[in-house]
Amino acid sequence: MKILIAADSFKDALPALEVCRAIARGLRRALPQAELLLFPMADGGEGTAEILTYHSRGERIEKEVNDPLFRPVTAGYGLSGDGKAAFIEMAAASGLPLLKQDERSALKTTTFGTGELILDAIGRGAGKILLGIGGSATNDAGMGMAAALGYRFFDKAGERLAAIGENLAKVASIDSSHLQFSPEEIEVEVLCDVDNPLFGEKGAAHIYAPQKGADAGAVERLDEGLRHFAQLLEDKFGRDFAHIPGSGAAGGLGAGAMAFLGGRLRPGIEAVMDYTGFEKQLEGVQLVFTGEGKVDAQTLHGKLIYGITRRAKAAGVPVVALCGALLASPEDIEAIGLKAAFAIQNRPVSLEIALKETEEGLERTAFMVGRMLG
């Protein structure tokens, strides 16, 4: 039997490659003659840059950049083995985890550091950028990222503005005469799994800014700023970005990446599967093992497992999932497209203990499932 093991990380417990290795150990004990292919995956969120770097046999690059409050921070990204592609997660430089709870301020934060990472990658020869935009601490519509790349923003008096959320409403003109890169010479794919517009009731400010330190007044200011900035972007680039699904992702970085980088928004899991050549891995495979921390009704919406089951089904290959928490009903399991799903916990335990026992649980459960297959 030829088995493909394509699992995501178990958040706060085990990275994707170690998840795959633990499943493989259990299966190998139960099915010593089976051919096991390890293929760690990600859904476009946290850990995606690491996975793409791994599959491209690339290297991790570290650089000191600005954090969301313009303080120095060391952030990393991946460069493919051939040096032609860079894998960047905006959270590395502009993410919410970089700030303490009392430091969060959607009015004052910036994506400048993300722009610095992009510029560094371009300087190293990367012609393609895969940009993950989850986990942001910002609401600047990519203004900070653009500033790091050479765009300049001015108010009505001709004074240059700091690239932060509260200044969106003050921008009167955008100057692109000092760019440090050529948008025509790079290809940017923005990994985005939300469909929020840039402004309005379902826009970046109203939906996401409160968790980034914005009170009701700040939300209204930011939303007005995004609405104003959207018109400036349309005037400069000749395109309405504000109503494209996903433009409001990461505090409007979705719109900013399209405007300032010429980026294209794509569902994260689809981009990862295409780039890693997942479908080719299915050739000759009789079974796929996958896994992530939780399987529930939400697995149907942009999660890795659903992406895997759709492509595996097209190839006629059944999929079995292992997970920390199994909250899906039988109807959910059928809708997701799984042959079966198994929780790796064998007794009631605290979350702390469950996280510590993730590796052991994966190996044990894979062994038990493997015994049924043998």
* Tens-digit pLDDT profile for residues 228-243: 999 999 999 999 999 9
- Residues 77, 114 contacting (CB under 8 angstroms): no
Q: Encoding tokens for residue 104?
A: 């969060």
- Across the chain, the runs of DSSP E, i.e. the strands, are 2-5, 35-38, 59-66, 72-79, 85-89, 128-132, 152-154, 173-175, 187-191, 264-266, 287-295, 319-326, 340-343
CATH code assigned at 20: 3.40.50.10350
Domain of 161, in residue numbers: 48-268
Residues 222 and 132 in one domain: yes
Q: Check residue 193 and give its pLDDT.
A: 86
pLDDT score at 343: 96
**Contact status, residue 255 vs residue 133, Cβ threshold 8 Å:** no
- Please indicate, yes or no, whether residues 176 and 69 belong to a single structural domain of this protein: yes
Q: Are residues 93 and 167 in the same domain?
A: yes
Residues 245 and 157 in one domain: yes
> In 10 A of CB 242, how many CB atoms?
23
Asked if the model's pLDDT at residue 302 lies above 80, the reply is: no
Contact indicator for 296, 328 with CB cutoff of 8 Å: yes
Q: What single DSSP character describes residue 346?
A: -
Q: In total, how many domains does the chain have?
A: 2
Nearest in space to 93 (alpha carbons), one of 49, 128, 57, 56: 49
pLDDT, tens digit, 9 for 90 and up, residues 74-120? 999 999 999 999 999 999 999 999 999 999 999 999 999 999 999 99
Q: Is the pLDDT of residue 127 over 90?
A: yes
Cβ atoms of 140 and 164 within 8 Å: the answer is yes
Same domain (yes/no): 143, 249? yes
CATH code, 94: 3.90.1510.10
| pLDDT beyond 80 at 346 | yes
Average pLDDT over every residue of 258-278:
95
Residue 39 has pLDDT above 80, yes or no: yes
What average pLDDT does the segment 187-214 reach? 96
d(CA 218, CA 361): 45
pLDDT at residue 270 in the model: 92
> At which of 211, 242, 268 does a domain end?
268
Residue 96 lies in a domain: yes
Identify the CA nearest to 62 among candidates 80, 74, 44.
74
- Tokens for 294? 């939780």
Helix, strand, or coil here: 137?
coil
Mean pLDDT over all residues of the chain? 96
Same structural domain, 174 and 307 = no
Picking from 242, 268, 294, the residue at the C-terminal end of a domain is 268
Task: Say how far apart CA 324 and CA 332 lie, in whole Å.
Answer: 17
Is the CB of residue 116 less than 8 Å from the CB of residue 141?
A: no
**DSSP letters for 185-244:** G-EEEEE------SSSTTSHHHHHGGGGT--HHHHHHHHHHHHHHHHHHHHHHSS--TTS
Q: Cβ atoms within 10 A of the Cβ of 323, count?
A: 27
pLDDT band at 332 (very low <50, low <70, confident <90, very high): very high
Which stretch of DSSP H or E encloses residue 367? helix 358-373
Model pLDDT, residue 76: 97
Which of helix, strand or coil describes residue 184? Answer: helix
When pLDDT is averaged across residues 19-41 and rounded to a whole number, the result is 97
| 342 shares a domain with 209 | no
pLDDT at 298: 85
How much of the chain exceeds pLDDT 70, in percent? 100
Confidence check: pLDDT of 43 > 90: no
What whole-number distance in Å separates Cα of residue 179 and Cα of residue 96? 28
> Same domain for 248 and 329?
no
234 vs 299: which has the higher pLDDT: 234
Residue at 7 is within a domain? yes
Confidence of residue 12 (pLDDT cuts 50, 70, 90): confident
Same structural domain, 307 and 197: no
Q: Are residues 293 and 187 in the same domain?
A: no
Tell me, yes or no, whether 12 lies in a domain: yes
Q: Are residues 309 and 198 in the same domain?
A: no
Task: Judge if 123 and 189 occupy the same domain.
Answer: yes
pLDDT reported for residue 45 = 85
Q: Which helix (H) or strand (E) holds 256?
A: helix 249-261
Per-residue pLDDT band at 44 (split at 50, 70, 90) = confident
Instruction: Provide the phi-psi class of 232: left if phi over 0, else alpha when psi is between -120 and 50, else beta.
Output: alpha
Q: Is residue 276 part of a domain?
A: no
Q: What local confidence, expressed as pLDDT, does residue 300 receive?
A: 82
Identify whether 274 is part of a domain.
no
Contact status, residue 205 vs residue 139, Cβ threshold 8 Å? yes
Structure confidence by residue, pLDDT tens digits, 46-58: 899 999 999 999 9
The DSSP output letter for 161 is P
CA 304, CA 123: separation in Å to the nearest integer? 32
Q: Is residue 275 part of a domain?
A: no
- Element at 307 (helix H, strand E): helix 304-314
Residue 35 lies in a domain: yes
Q: At which residue do the structure tokens 């018109």 appear?
A: 231
Share of the chain above pLDDT 90, in %: 94
pLDDT at 325: 92
Q: pLDDT of 145-166, one tens digit each?
A: 999 999 999 999 999 999 999 9
Q: Is residue 179 part of a domain?
A: yes
Q: Given 234, 268, 302, which residue is the final one in a domain? A: 268
